[in-house]
């Protein structure tokens, strides 16, 4: 049986802290299927709901688990990296960790398995595109580390094109996500934008998460590449959170980095 496949090519716009099984003690950073799968699943759930994500990517919930209907493989080889990058680039002194470098290119391949329906397959493809457009990979990923960006014929070049491709997430019935662009393309480098995204206050937790007890950041940042350069994409589960995040960042102590980006432009 010939199983249908789809390949996605992408590059890293910022350093990616994707470690191995050793976690933060890993001596190298490498591209691995489990974290890629986890990030795609996150955006699938955000776009199509929990039930669809469990059906397509498998689940161990309940009395009976179910296997994935779509397989993921790493495509072109990307060698492990021992090159260190700062975890908190907005700070003068801070820890560093091995990272896949900006400019590294890679690909993943999705394979449709026998139990996968046409709807399942199309949702898996859409979720993967949304991950590459709106998502990131690895540690500090909600703060623009591991910003992936497509190298495809459909890669957006403008704000309108990006908004159109993200429509399944931003215009879904019931509880659409909200997104905005911060900073004009070409005004700041991808490195400088990651420094800004890293410079967030400790709280409020409902916007930026917290370490103890662990609460992921609802508001997420990534670097994107539009014509004629880089800018920051900000995403939140609601318009209210997005608006509150901009106000909180521009009123925090030492808000210069955020003020330099100007007013956010909603998608």
Q: Residues 125-178: pLDDT tens digits?
A: 999 999 999 999 999 999 999 999 999 999 999 999 999 999 999 999 998 999
From the list 226, 8, 191, 200, the residue with the least C-alpha distance to 99 is: 191
- The predicted model scores a pTM of 0.95
For every one of its 267 residues, what pLDDT tens digit does the chain have, with 9 covering 90 and above? 578 999 999 999 999 999 776 766 788 999 999 999 999 999 999 999 999 999 999 987 766 668 899 999 999 778 999 999 999 999 988 799 999 999 999 999 999 999 999 999 999 999 999 999 999 999 999 999 999 999 999 999 999 999 999 999 999 999 899 999 999 988 999 999 999 999 999 888 999 998 888 889 999 999 999 999 999 999 999 999 999 999 999 999 999 999 999 999 999
Q: Would you state the structure tokens that stand for residue 162, as one six-digit string? A: 């990006």
One-character DSSP codes across 8-58? EEEEESS-BB---TTGGG-SSB---HHHHHHHHHHHHHHHH-HHHHHHHH-
Q: Would you state the structure tokens that stand for residue 25, as one six-digit string? A: 């003690």
Structural Rg of the chain based on CA atoms: 18
Report how far apart, in Å, the C-alpha atoms of 220 and of each of 170, 173, 195, 211 are: 14, 21, 14, 16
């Amino acid at each position: 049986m010939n199983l249908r496949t789809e390949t996605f090519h992408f590059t890293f716009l910022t350093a990616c802290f994707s470690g191995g099984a050793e976690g933060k003690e890993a001596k190298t950073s490498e591209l691995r299927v489990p974290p890629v799968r986890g990030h795609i699943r996150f955006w699938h759930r955000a776009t199509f709901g929990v039930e669809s994500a469990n059906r397509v990517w498998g689940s161990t919930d309940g009395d009976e688990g179910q296997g994935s209907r779509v397989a993921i493989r790493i495509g072109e080889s990307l060698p492990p990296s021992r090159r260190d990058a700062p975890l908190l680039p907005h700070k003068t002194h801070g820890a560093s960790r091995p990272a896949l470098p900006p400019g590294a290119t890679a690909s993943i391949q999705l394979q449709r398995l026998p139990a996968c329906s046409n709807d399942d397959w199309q949702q898996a493809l859409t979720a993967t595109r949304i991950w590459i457009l709106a998502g990131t990979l690895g540690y500090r990923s909600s703060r623009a580390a591991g910003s992936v960006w497509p190298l495809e014929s459909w890669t957006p070049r403008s704000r309108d094109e990006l908004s159109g491709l993200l429509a399944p997430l931003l215009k879904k019935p019931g509880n659409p996500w909200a997104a905005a662009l911060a900073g004009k393309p070409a005004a700041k480098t991808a490195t400088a934008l990651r420094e800004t995204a890293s410079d967030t206050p400790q709280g409020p937790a409902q916007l930026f998460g917290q370490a103890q007890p662990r609460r992921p950041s609802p508001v997420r940042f990534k670097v994107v590449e539009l014509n004629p350069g880089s800018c920051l994409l900000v995403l939140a589960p609601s318009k209210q959170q997005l608006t509150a995040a901009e106000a909180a960042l521009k009123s925090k102590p030492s808000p210069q980095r955020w003020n330099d980006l100007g007013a956010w432009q909603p998608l």
